[in-house]
Amino acid sequence: MSLENISSNRSFGGWHKQYTHTSRTVHCNMRFAIFLPPQASESNRVPVLYWLSGLTCSDENFMQKAGAHRVAAELGIAIVAPDTSPRGDNIPDDPEGAYDFGIGAGFYLNATEAPWNRFYHMYDYVVKELPAVIEAHFPVSDVKAISGHSMGGHGALTIALKNSDDYRSVSAFSPIVNPAAVPWGEKAFTNYLGEDRQTWLEYDSCALIKKAEKHLPMLIDQGDGDQFLHEQLKPGNLLQAAEEVGYPLELRMQEGYDHSYYFISSFIEDHLRFHGEHLK
């Protein structure tokens, strides 16, 4: 598979680069960003943290705003940030142009309902296609962790819970932990997956954590000043589900913090060091 490098920037002794490629999974050109730390070389393939962004975001938000490169360079961790959905003129979108569904809002699932089911297979893209591309073209190993924010936190948690042998650790900022029971998830899941709510639970962390066969180290940070906390995020639901089955979840409520990248940049070092311990 050919990649097109569209930007390269030196950063903390490493490189931040953007690429596009033609995806077989979502049937369009996809863009991703990668930060390669200075330790990365053909003789020293480094582990990877996959970062999944939230509603309205692309690969650029985290790389430009989170301030993650310095610590990733110190720890020798590559970071890969995919886009949040397929994009293009032929990609179906929310008919009303809303931000919480369609382009920019793929919800990291495999859609089963037309017309979304031809393109919106972000689950397979993140779990299968993208890691294969990254490991084939860059000096990285198959040792990986996953993290994300909001919708991307939902994606990181569900992907890790469904593929626990593939990841060493998982973390999230302000994740949508119970999408089957909140407005964002209900809208997206009805359109992407249909009316059968039982099928929704395959992408709901509160349901998945109760049947997890393997316990991954899991860290979640949530601001108590988050404007979406009570209606859309509901971290207490996941904490309760984890306690019911003895899943070792660390949930940290951070006083006064909101849903923005100011919050993420304040605690991203903690998350990188958390993953660094498990990626060794």
pLDDT band at 226 (very low <50, low <70, confident <90, very high): very high
Report the pLDDT averaged over residues 164-186: 98
Bridge partners (DSSP) of residue 31 are 20
Does the pLDDT of residue 265 top 90, yes or no?
yes
List 16, 69, 259, 271, catalytic entry: 259
Please give the pLDDT value at position 261.
98
Q: Return the percentage of the chain with pLDDT > 90, whole number.
A: 99
DSSP assignment, residue 201?
G
Residue 142 sits at φ, ψ, to 5 deg, of -95, 10
Told to judge if 150 belongs to the known catalytic residues of this protein, a careful annotator would answer: yes
Please give the model's pTM, rounded to 2 decimal places. Answer: 0.98
Pick the CATH number of 3-279 from 2.60.40.420, 3.40.50.1820, 2.30.130.10, 3.30.590.10: 3.40.50.1820
Please give the pLDDT value at position 274.
98
Told to judge if 260 belongs to the known catalytic residues of this protein, a careful annotator would answer: no
Does the pLDDT of residue 268 top 80, yes or no?
yes
List 53, 58, 85, 150, catalytic entry: 150
List 59, 204, 221, 226, catalytic entry: 226
Would you kindly state where each structural domain of the chain is located, as residue ranges?
Answer: 3-279
Residues 16-54 have pLDDT tens digits of: 999 999 999 999 999 999 999 999 999 999 999 999 999
Q: Average per-residue pLDDT in the chain? A: 98
Burial class for 7, CB neighbours closer than 10 Å (0-12, 13-18, 19+): exposed
Told to judge if 271 belongs to the known catalytic residues of this protein, a careful annotator would answer: no
Does the pLDDT of residue 1 top 90, yes or no?
no
Residue 23 sits at φ, ψ, to 5 deg, of -90, 130
Residues 126-164 have pLDDT tens digits of: 999 999 999 999 999 999 999 999 999 999 999 999 999
Q: Tokens for 23, please give them.
A: 């995806």
Residues 79-128 have pLDDT tens digits of: 999 999 999 999 999 999 999 999 999 999 999 999 999 999 999 999 99
